[in-house]
Structure 1
């Protein structure tokens, strides 16, 4: 894997509530310089980041119902639609986690179907965030089975705002269930190359992290040393 290949797996992330215009300029410049797949931001600054990235191949990704997932489906759809109108190329939405704990699978299936359909009708990539730290293995498996049927582009482990982030075991389980039908994004707590590598080996094809630059530098240092 080249450095460029690795960089293109990163969703370069800044989702802090105190983010300013200068933070977004810095984020977008970093993403362009490394050739990241996407900048991961909240939905309000989508228009700004789309302008900042207009002459690059870096996508703008909007986080929807972030980080709790506890908004109605109609609100999630409205936020998704607005983000797309503002220029979002990708959508990362948080499921209704409480519904998952209640095993209301029909609700979650409807939620996923409607948001995925809206995204795909607009040629926008859709990622479904499970927030695995609050779920048991059976619940993760069931959500993955629903995703395999509905076919979002990705299922994602975490927001990075919960009580835990991505784990190798969860990534492996999710990938085992969805197979080649859906990709897996690992996010939350990925701060170094060894952790990143473990997620990739477990089946992740996108990595959500605010430590993209440091991971790339570490990877380049190791690679050059081995050469």
Structure 2
């Protein structure tokens, strides 16, 4: 959705509602999770995006704030059985989450089994919608062709997806797959695929303020931002020099 004013003119609070603050690194300790969830609320992000095991840590921190809980299900590979995905979903819904992100099965997409992808996603989306929880469907876009991205977008929208989303940030692939995540070109393709029928979330490789503002001006609806990059894109701190370790966030969107 096109913003009502240029992103460069928005306050940090106005910009923060575009952000799912990513707290997904598997090596995070409980204290590190608490710290980053607190930061998500401090920055007034739309959500803190967390693994299911972190819900009990995040819920009391975010209670009474404007920041919700976005939980990932079957992340980052999307290869569990449908029954397992549904079970995971029902457990998270019982814990009072606000949003859910799920990964579409990469192998099924590449194998052309789009009806199977659609049915798999619908089994998760339907109970979420019954609970008033929107669902974002993640495509591992760095490993898909343009035609495959278009096909899974149609399957996801048919299944009822509220958002279609680029990348997990965890895919390493091979030398054949460049890790670009939410590049301007990929976000434009996803917006074309959505065609107003679903919102678009960009994730992966959004680490500088110029890129972040540019995507907002282009009409993106949400972005997954790695925990180190959130204060940078909001303009609260200066970016580290190119190549500095502070910006190395593999596996954090």
Instruction: Establish whether TM, by shorter chain, passes 0.5.
Output: yes
**Structure richer in helix, relative to its length:** 1
- Which residue does 1:189 correspond to in 2? 205
TM-score normalised by length of structure 2: 0.83
Say which structure, 1 or 2, has more relative contact order (CA 8 Å, 6+ apart).
2
Match of 2:63 among 50, 54, 58: 54
Deviation at 1:147, TM superposition (A): 2.8
> What are structure 2's unaligned runs of at least 5 residues?
1-9, 173-178, 240-253
Secondary structure at the aligned position of 1:129 is classed as strand
Match of 1:106 among 103, 115, 127: 115
- Which residue does 2:214 correspond to in 1? 198
Q: Would you say 1:45 and 2:54 are equivalent positions?
A: yes
CA contact (8 A) 1:171 1:203 kept: no
Q: Give the direction of change, closer, same or farther, for the CA distance of 1:194–1:218 in structure 2 (3 Å limit).
A: farther
The root-mean-square deviation of aligned C-alpha atoms, in Å, is 1.7
Q: Give the direction of change, closer, same or farther, for the CA distance of 1:197–1:124 in structure 2 (3 Å limit).
A: same
- Which residue does 1:157 correspond to in 2? 166
State the alpha-carbon separation in 2 of the partners of residues 140 and 219 from structure 1. 35
Give every structure 1 segment of 4 or more consecutive aligned residues whose post-TM-superposition deviation is greater than 6 Å: none
TM-score normalised by length of structure 1: 0.92
Q: How does 1:116-135 map to 2 (within 5 A)?
A: 116-135=125-144
> What are structure 1's unaligned runs of at least 5 residues?
222-227
State the alpha-carbon separation in 1 of the partners of residues 193 and 141 from structure 2. 15
Larger deviation: 102-111 or 20-29?
A: 20-29
Larger deviation: 163-172 or 110-119?
A: 163-172
State the alpha-carbon separation in 1 of the partners of residues 28 and 93 from structure 2. 21
Aligned length: 221
- Which residue does 1:167 correspond to in 2? 183
